Amino acid sequence: MEIKDFLRDICEAPGVSGYEHNVAKIVNAAFLDYADEVRQDRLGNVVFYKKGTGENRPRILLAAHMDEIGLMVTKVEEGGFLRFSAVGGIDPRTIVGQEVILYGKEALPGVIGVKPPHLTAGEDLTKAHSMEDLHIDVALPEERVKKLVSVGDLAVIRREMIDLAGNSVAAKAMDDRAGIAVLLTCLQELERLQHKADVFAVATVQEEVGVRGAATATYGVVPDIGIAVDVTHGEMPGVPEHETSKLGKGPALTLGPNIHPKVGNELINIAKEYKIPYQLEVSPAPTGTDARAIQVTRGGIPTGLVSIPLRYMHTSVELLDLEDVKLSGRLLAYFIAAVDAAFLEGLKCS
């Protein structure tokens, strides 16, 4: 499957944290041809196993999360208007006036409404909206809404992926469905490479609410090395250059205490060897990614982090360059092909 088409399918599917089953079905169908075994754990992580060659095979975990931020109904108000709260990190400023699909007893289209400026007092016009100011309007009578919608039902922003100039695309849930696309690219590349390591490519759940899936997946796989794949902030107006990475210039490779130095350096060495463009990113604290959970699972896992530059994170128009997705997958495949028992032994000497 073409990576762009795959990314479109998974980004447009609903998959709020804790409710990722629709996305998992698409991922499962796309990955089956490249895995020797597939299993799903009790939390919902989907684990794709690709066997290495020989004996004493290293075990490498690749993790990218398939959940997205979303909305959850908290109250059906008079008139059928729906109050809601956020699942994951939603900035209320970004959802005013958005279209949504609400998943009650049936899928309902709706909009997030707010009081128009004509009816807003002057001093309130300069204030940012809070979640309490907003509601979902499905334009149905209250009685009908109460039959179809319950407290706890979910809603996601309605957005189709759009093509922009060059290799750029924008969609909701690129964080981190783009990482899932990197895993698929990696498995496709591995089809033509020899690798001693056993590979466990995991589509994890519930990253946006506390990296929970990565913790249980790592505990179950017990890898020798873990690499998280996620997005990072792309360059954009108003943000200092040193806090971002450039789109179309390759993956960002993280250095810092969350990253095992030999894993981080080997990713850099592989990128140089195969002339894969890359960028460096530093994180002096635990990263806000699955790498945070992988590193401290069981007795500790040597961990790396590969990130795709992305603009407008946690909005419905997350924007990236597809070339960065492909380069990230290629880098991971060559890294895996280079890992052997001697490399694992070197990790113990740090």
pLDDT, residue 274, reads 98
Tell me: is residue 230 an annotated ligand-binding position.
Answer: yes
Q: What is the structure's pLDDT at 295?
A: 97
DSSP strand E in the chain: where? 37-40, 46-50, 59-65, 70-76, 82-87, 99-103, 107-113, 135-137, 154-157, 162-163, 168-171, 198-204, 225-233, 252-255, 279-282, 303-310, 318-321
Given this model, what pLDDT does residue 121 score?
72
Which tens digits make up the pLDDT trace of 218-246?
999 999 999 999 999 999 999 999 999 99
pLDDT value at position 211?
A: 97
Per-residue pLDDT, 201:
98
Least Cα distance to 180 among 229, 144, 236, 248 occurs for: 229
What pLDDT was estimated at residue 115? 78
Name the residues annotated as catalytic: 207
In 275-309, which positions are buried (b, 16+ CB within 10 angstroms) versus exposed (e)?
Answer: ebebbebebeeebebbbbbbbebeeebbbbbbbbb
Helical H runs in the chain?
Answer: 3-12, 21-31, 142-148, 174-190, 212-221, 261-273, 290-295, 322-338, 341-347
Question: Which pLDDT value is given to residue 133?
Answer: 84
Q: How many CB atoms lie within 10 A of CB 129?
A: 15
Domains of the chain: 3-68+172-347 (3.40.630.10), 70-157 (2.40.30.40)
Q: What is the pLDDT of residue 349?
A: 57
- Per-residue confidence (pLDDT) for residue 130, from 0 to 100: 84
Q: What angle do CA 177, 169, 100 make, to 5 degrees?
A: 65
Instruction: State pTM to two decimals.
Output: 0.96
Task: State which residues of the chain have pLDDT below 50.
Answer: none
Output the CA–CA distances (angstroms, integers) from residue 112 to 14, 72, 88, 239, 332, in the order listed: 17, 13, 18, 28, 40
> Would you say 175 is a known binding-site residue?
yes
Identify which of 256, 244, 241, 243 has the alpha carbon closest to the alpha carbon of residue 286.
256
Is 135 marked as binding a ligand? no
